[in-house]
Amino acid sequence: MQDLKNFTKAEAERLGFCLCGFTGAAAPADFERYLLWLEKEPLGTMGYLKRPDTVAKRADPHLLLPGAQSICVLGIQMGLQKAGIPEVASYAHYVDYHDAILPMAEALIQRMQACLQEHQEYSAYTNLNYRICIDSSPILERSLGVQAGLGWIGKSSMLVNPTYGSALFLCEILLSLPIEPDKPYTGDGCGSCMRCINACPNHCIDPETRTIRADHCASYLTIEHKGEFTPEQSELAGTHLFGCDACLRACPWNSKNTGKSPLPPAPVLPDMQDYAISDEDFKIKYKNTAVLRTKARGLRRNIEAVRRNLSDKPGNNSETEIV
């Protein structure tokens, strides 16, 4: 399978993936770290992460694809955008990455299947079964990335690659093929650096466990949190309209980020003018973008929090400055 492995890596690069590695279909080596995070840190409204079936799937990829023998872990460069007020996370500057990456992964599978059919030595594996996972599946993608040799888990909890940094979209393909795994990444390029910890606006990062206190994270609050904000949550949202890139921008491994990505740009970005947008208009305006995740009521909530936080800043006395 070495020839197929090399072929797959070359084809992944041609399709626009900057990273490609393989690991076995077993529980990630640091699964216990994930369990400790679930037990220790408040999860806000993401209690579903503790569901027994969800935890079991993260522990055993075979529950996602029976008969899985290997996992292909892929990475795509995300272009970091300059900070703005209000803040819109860099990944929202592209079309919904789930929709954009899926056809790329499907194309890679098709090329692998063609390779299997062309070579007699692979005849036993032409009936290929697979499952593509892009962020929304219960799988520990960053940990699998380490096992596939793509990088290390940084203090910010992100997967960091020494060439492409931590501004990455990740994708995994579970395969019914016994492809030889790559060597796990054993280095740690964080050293004594504390830039991401110091940059986090809400002091969410635990550098010892390399995990995040989710319920205080501006990304969680403005994207994943369900319901209205308490006064404390509204303050923690700061000037973040949708997501937060503070730890990404602070990381020195992202200093060479070009601000570009192979993914298509989003046709529109959220702005403060959406404070009264209807649910229907929201769905139309943000179709095929990541902003749909927060729903119209979430975006309206975020806008109100940003307006309040900006008006509380010294020198911001004019309503026209914050709309």
Amino acid of residue 259: G
How far is it, in rounded angstroms, from Cα 33 to Cα 16?
A: 32
> Rounded CA gap, 168 and 244, in Å?
14
Alpha-carbon separation of residue 33 from 29, 30, 71, 130 (angstroms): 9, 5, 21, 27
77 vs 97: CA distance, rounded Å:
11
Torsion of CA 246, 251, 256, 261, to 10 degrees: -50
Question: Are the C-beta atoms of 104 and 77 separated by less than 8 Å?
Answer: no
* Angstrom distance (rounded) from CA 110 to CA 107: 5
72 Cβ contact list (under 8 Å, min separation 6):
8, 12, 20, 21, 22, 108, 148, 172, 173, 175, 179
Amino acid at 234: S
**Sign of the CA dihedral with 227 first, then 228, 232, and 234 last:** positive
What are the residue numbers of the active site? 135
Distance of CA 42 to the CA centre of its chain: 20
